[in-house]
Every structure is written in C-alpha cells, then in structure tokens.
Amino acid sequence: MDSTAFPHDLVQAQHDWNITYRALATSGNRHTTVLRRRLLELSGRIWWYPFWTTVPGNAPAARVELRRLARTQSRSEEAA
C-alpha cells in the first residue's frame, strides 16, 4: 500500500498511540490510568477513522502498513 495514501491525521494518531503505549510500558505504576484512557481514545479514533471504509477488501494489510509507517516516522524523529 502506498504510504502517501494515509491521511496525515490518521498517521499522527497512530504515532501518538505508539508513544503512549511506550510511555505506559515504561511508567511503572505512575499515571497508568491516564495513559490507558489515552490509549483507548486513540484506539477508537484509529479504528473508526472514515479512511477504513474506502480501503477495498484489504484493511488488515493497510492497518499493518499504517503501524509500520508510524514506527518508521517515530524512529526518524528520535534519531534527529
């Protein structure tokens, strides 16, 4: 799937989800409720995003590609 086909705000939501998940994994016992609520909110935003109704029959592959793209962008931002 062409990575430019994803709307910018959908990629940003996935990027935010990745950051929040990483923060939850490393937080110990601090702020877990806030982080879990944020993950749920971002998960809903990503899952119900209108873009998924336009993907013809291959939505699971597109979701994997979105996660890969967001991870790649996260790594390039960390390196900068």
The reported pTM is 0.84
Compute CA distances 13 → 24, 27, 50, 62, 79, whole Å: 16, 21, 13, 15, 20
Q: What is the pLDDT of residue 75?
A: 74
Are 16 and 42 in contact by the 8 Å Cβ rule? The answer is yes
Q: What is the pLDDT of residue 80?
A: 64
Check whether 1 has a pLDDT greater than 60: no
Q: Other C-beta atoms within 10 Å of 15: how many?
A: 19
Predicted confidence (pLDDT) per residue in 46-66, tens digit: 999 999 998 877 789 999 999
Check whether 2 has a pLDDT greater than 70: no
Predicted confidence (pLDDT) per residue in 6-27, tens digit: 999 999 999 999 999 999 999 7
